Amino acid sequence: MSNPKISIIIPVYNIEKYIAACLDSLINQTMKDIEIICVNDGSPDGSPEILNQYAQKDERVIVLNQSNQKLSYTRNNGMKLASGEYILFVDGDDWLELNACEVLYDYAKKYNTDVVMFSCRLEYANKTLFKYAFEQDFIEFTGEECKILHRRHAGMIGAELASPEKQDYLCSACTKLYKKDIIDKYNLSFYDVTKIGSYEDGLFNLFYFKYVQKAVYIKKPFYHYRKDNESSSTSNHKPNLSGQWDHLFDIMESYIAENQMDDDFKQGLQNRIALGMIGLGINCIISDKKATRKIKELRRLLASPRYVKAVKQLSVGHMAVHWKVFLYVRS
């Protein structure tokens, strides 16, 4: 039997309420030549039983059970099993449009591209928001344009800063179809999220896009990102985030230096650090600490030499008024 066209990797942990909807969207894809690798990360709920039920019904569903190792290692272990020509990442509480694999694969082959980027929908309890990294319906990236894409995973510069929120839409690993040959050839993997706090997707893409010679973007929002799951890793307070982000920025600075990246990479990272204050502030506010402790912690964070330096060199000329006000108050 030939290898599948696409391997879909799904981390699974305590999502018994949602995993069936995710798997239904995958086993019913219009493209049948896929494999669905479910990595059970030691779930103590009913998720493993649901996975086994699907695996018994559909031979394309593969279940890997492991002790709890968190998101990064879960994805990495899934990649080790993958035999597809391309790789898709889908979180187990999210889902895909039924024609996603077919359309993405067709674009990958038609344009002989190293990565296909696409859009997403944020699914709240009572509304859906469409989120796009770019406004054009279709973009083909080659040469210098791919270098800019690479740099954007370090951070935004210039006119890109008019929409800082689009950085996250671009950097998600779940809105890309990756070529497995590149991942294998350069031994790429996700960095341990417990050590960097977040942005494991962006860091993976920073490493991956170094080798991208051609990319395409299609505006179609194939990915449904569930936002009503209170147990999601993106909705919880992270007590060690400040130190973890310091480690993340150390890694990125070293990567830029070791690869002799130009000043745009350095500026992009400084801008990312400056805007990171907002994330640190929100993380502090959603903690269960008393108000006085929160204020003290915010002052400490905002006085950090790394952030003070980054904010001083941040150009706000292209930003919307609310961003300018926030950063002016801080400075």
pLDDT digits (tens, 9 = 90+) for 100-129: 999 999 999 999 999 999 999 999 999 999
Number of domains in the chain: 2
Does the pLDDT value for residue 315 go beyond 80? no
Same domain, 187 and 259: no
Whole-number Cα distances in Å, 105 to 71, 118, 293, 307: 25, 12, 51, 41
30 located within any domain: yes
Cβ atoms of 84 and 5 closer than 8 Å: yes
232 located within any domain: no
Same domain, 165 and 249: no
Single-letter residue type at 253: E
Higher pLDDT, 283 or 319: 283
Same domain, 198 and 251: no
77 located within any domain: yes
CA dihedral 181, 182, 185, 188 (to 10 degrees): -120
Q: Tell me what percent of the residues of the chain surpass a pLDDT of 70.
A: 93
Q: Is 246 exposed, middle or buried (0-12, 13-18, 19+ CB in 10 A)?
A: middle
pLDDT at 212: 98
234 located within any domain: no
Cβ atoms of 7 and 104 closer than 8 Å: no
Final residue of a domain: which of 174, 195, 226?
A: 226
- From the list 141, 137, 100, 148, the residue with the least C-alpha distance to 218 is 137
Name the band, by pLDDT with cuts 50, 70 and 90, for residue 330. very low
51 located within any domain: yes
Same domain, 220 and 72: yes
Same domain, 13 and 116: yes
Q: How far apart are CA 34 and CA 85, in angstroms?
A: 10
290 located within any domain: yes
Name the band, by pLDDT with cuts 50, 70 and 90, for residue 88. very high
Instruction: Give the DSSP H or E segment for 62.
Output: strand 61-66
Cβ atoms of 22 and 90 closer than 8 Å: yes
Name the band, by pLDDT with cuts 50, 70 and 90, for residue 232. low
Structure tokens at 301: 């964070």
Averaged pLDDT, 52-74: 96
Q: CA 155, 157, 159: angle at the middle one, nearest 5? A: 135
Give the strand pairing for 120-123 and 214-218.
unpaired
Structure tokens at 237: 């307070």
Same domain, 84 and 28: yes
Averaged pLDDT, 166-195: 94
Q: Tell me what percent of the residues of the chain surpass a pLDDT of 90.
A: 74
pLDDT at 325: 55
Same domain, 104 and 253: no
Same domain, 130 and 58: yes
Does the pLDDT value for residue 317 go beyond 70? no
Same domain, 245 and 216: no
Single-letter residue type at 275: L
Same domain, 22 and 167: yes
pLDDT at 45: 97
Q: The domain containing residue 248 runs over which residues?
A: 241-330
Same domain, 201 and 253: no
1 located within any domain: no
287 located within any domain: yes
Tell me the whole-structure pTM to 2 decimals. Answer: 0.92
Any idea what the CATH number is for the domain that residue 133 is in? 3.90.550.10
Higher pLDDT, 196 or 2: 196
Same domain, 221 and 264: no
Mean pLDDT of the chain: 91
pLDDT at 318: 61
Name the band, by pLDDT with cuts 50, 70 and 90, for residue 61. very high
Give the strand pairing for 95-96 and 115-117.
unpaired
pLDDT digits (tens, 9 = 90+) for 252-294: 999 999 999 999 999 999 999 988 887 888 888 888 888 888 8
pLDDT at 331: 46
Of 12-21, 79-88, 172-181, 227-236, which range is least confident?
227-236
DSSP state of 2: P
pLDDT at 163: 79
Does the pLDDT value for residue 25 go beyond 80? yes
Single-letter residue type at 79: M
Q: How far apart are CA 155 and CA 269, in angstroms?
A: 5
What DSSP line would sit under 97-130, residue for residue? Answer: -TTHHHHHHHHHHHTT-SEEE--EEEE-SS-EEE
